[in-house]
Amino acid sequence: MNTKQYASYFHLPDGIYALAHSVGPLPKVSKLALQEHYLAPWEALGGDAWPKWLQSVDDFCTSVASLINASADEICPQPNLASGFSAYLSALAKLPKNKSKQRVLMHQDAFASMGFVVTGLAQAYGLELVLIQGDPNSLDAWDKELAKGNVLACLFTHVHSNTSIKSDLVLLVELAKSHSAYALVDIAQSVGVVPVDSKEWGADAIFGSCVKWLCGGPGAGFMFIKASHINELEPDPIGWFSHQNPFEFDINHYAPANNAKRFWGGTPSVAPYVSACASINMILEIGVENIAKHNTDLKRRLLNSLPNYVTIKPNEAELSGQGGSLCIGCDDMEKAAEKLNEAGVRYDRRGDIFRLSLHIMNNFDDADVIARCFI
């Protein structure tokens, strides 16, 4: 794989960039797209730019749909994961058939923001957050809580940010549905580096972000809602872009969009989706499968070069069950951190774990430099 070619696709900070799990680097096509599809129409048309801007947002939904094997009508733009999850969860809780269901299950290692959504809705909707401990793929652990009853939904994390463990979603979704619970998935740490297939999983809703492996920048999130499930949901809050015809402007007539955009809300930001659409199309052109293989090759190279005193690390056989990040720890974290900083590696640290994420712009030399920081 010509990594030098792909590195040229990005505006890269100095050093070795290993922070794709946090913020992906800026693609050059995204910067150009902002000028062409956001700023130029604004400059030339002012308020008449809305049709072009909305076409750009529709293009974003189409690109997301291609990325996760869905229909564009099943995609709604969101500023972040929490906004979509909150709107969706409250819409579920409002359904009369769910009146007796208050418990929402997620793993202890789920993204904290998603847990905050549930506790924030507790008073208004009587929801209760229940955290699964241990192995996130333990069907017994999930089944034990599901069997207690009154479960509204299970939120499964496709790839966990602090361990990189990947969830077996086909089995987990099937288990949730066998207990009549809604099956939801957080793909923020997977989409762009791990293949995502909404049809294969059969999940009711999926929540994603473009800021990480998709290199789309902050502000461009999205939610997927299974088509057969959309029309029964009444989101709260709503806004004029939740309407079937946002430009009708009749305050006495609200008709929700007959697709996932009923979750859209008020006047949207446009720039984040223009930027993210360009980056997603770049990822699609390269191919997520190609990115996933390259990422695994880099992780394998790095792992095989680490000394024995790096005690917290996956073994090579475990790589297939992990996402894009390599989460490792060693006996002397401070010394390793000092060497990583001296080598110009851009990484982050969560307690006794270094998170290192190598993307399509990285190469074997980068992996070797990182490995030497632990020797």
- Look up the domain containing 324 and give its range: 3-26+287-372
**Res. 99: pLDDT tops 90:** yes
Query: What are the beta bridge partners of residue 105?
Result: 130, 154
* pLDDT value at residue 307: 86
Tokens encoding 219: 């502000």
Angle made by CA atoms 301, 304, 310, in degrees to the nearest 5:
120
Residue with tokens 């930001």: 269
Indicate whether 304 and 327 sit together in one domain. Answer: yes
Indicate whether 129 and 245 sit together in one domain. Answer: yes
Exposure letters 96-108 (e unless 16+ CB within 10 A, then b): eebeebbbbbbbe
Indicate whether 219 and 297 sit together in one domain. Answer: no
Q: By the 8 A CB rule, do 23 and 212 touch? A: yes
**Res. 3: pLDDT tops 80:** no
Angle made by CA atoms 167, 170, 173, in degrees to the nearest 5:
90
Beta strands in 189-337 (DSSP E): 205-209, 221-225, 325-328
Strands 205-209 and 221-225: antiparallel
Indicate whether 96 and 223 sit together in one domain. Answer: yes
* pLDDT value at residue 96: 95
pLDDT in tens, 267-318: 999 999 999 999 999 999 999 999 999 999 999 999 999 988 888 899 888 9
Indicate whether 77 and 187 sit together in one domain. Answer: yes
Indicate whether 41 and 12 sit together in one domain. Answer: no
- Longest Cα pair distance anywhere in the chain, in angstroms? 69
- Residue range 334-344: average pLDDT? 96
* pLDDT value at residue 147: 98
| 79: nearest Cα among 262, 217, 254 | 217
Q: Which of 283, 313, 335 is the last residue of a domain?
A: 283
- Residue range 101-127: average pLDDT? 96
How many percent of the chain have pLDDT more than 70?
99
Indicate whether 183 and 313 sit together in one domain. Answer: no
Indicate whether 131 and 222 sit together in one domain. Answer: yes
**Res. 4: pLDDT tops 80:** no
* pLDDT value at residue 282: 98
Strands 221-225 and 325-328: unpaired
How many beta carbons lie within 10 A of that of residue 149, not counting itself? 12
Amino acid at 185: V
N-terminal to C-terminal alpha carbon distance within the chain: 28
From residue 292, how far is each of 266, 325, 357, 359 by CA, in Å?
Answer: 36, 11, 12, 9
Indicate whether 257 and 326 sit together in one domain. Answer: no
Q: Which residue has the higher pLDDT, 172 or 237?
A: 172
Q: How many residues does this entry show for the chain?
A: 375
Tally of domains within the chain: 2
CATH number at residue 64: 3.40.640.10
Name every residue whose Cβ is closer than 8 Å to that of residue 224 and which is 6 or more positions away in sequence. 64, 68, 70, 74, 75, 198, 203, 205, 206, 207, 208, 260
State how far the Cα of 22 lies from the Cα of 1, in Å rounded to an integer: 24
Indicate whether 267 and 298 sit together in one domain. Answer: no
User: Residue 98 — very low, low, confident or very high, per pLDDT cuts 50/70/90?
Assistant: very high
User: Residue 19 — very low, low, confident or very high, per pLDDT cuts 50/70/90?
Assistant: very high
State how far the Cα of 9 lies from the Cα of 161, in Å rounded to an integer: 26
Indicate whether 73 and 197 sit together in one domain. Answer: yes
> For residue 248, is it left (φ>0), alpha (ψ between -120 and 50) or beta?
alpha
Name every residue whose Cβ is closer than 8 Å to that of residue 289 and which is 6 or more positions away in sequence. 195
Amino acid at 333: M
pLDDT in tens, 32-65: 999 999 999 999 999 999 999 999 999 999 999 9
* pLDDT value at residue 333: 92
Phi, psi of 287 (to 5 degrees): 100, 120
CATH number at residue 296: 3.90.1150.10
**Res. 233: pLDDT tops 90:** yes
Angle made by CA atoms 153, 159, 165, in degrees to the nearest 5:
110
Q: Which of 254, 283, 312 is the last residue of a domain?
A: 283
* pLDDT value at residue 1: 64
**Res. 24: pLDDT tops 80:** yes
Judged by DSSP in three states, 110 sits in coil
Phi, psi of 308 (to 5 degrees): -65, -25
Indicate whether 48 and 179 sit together in one domain. Answer: yes
| 184: nearest Cα among 104, 304, 250 | 104
Name every residue whose Cβ is closer than 8 Å to that of residue 42 and which is 6 or more positions away in sequence. 49
pLDDT in tens, 122-174: 999 999 999 999 999 999 999 999 999 999 999 999 999 999 999 999 999 99
Q: Which of 228, 255, 283 is the last residue of a domain?
A: 283
Q: By the 8 A CB rule, do 184 and 206 touch? A: yes
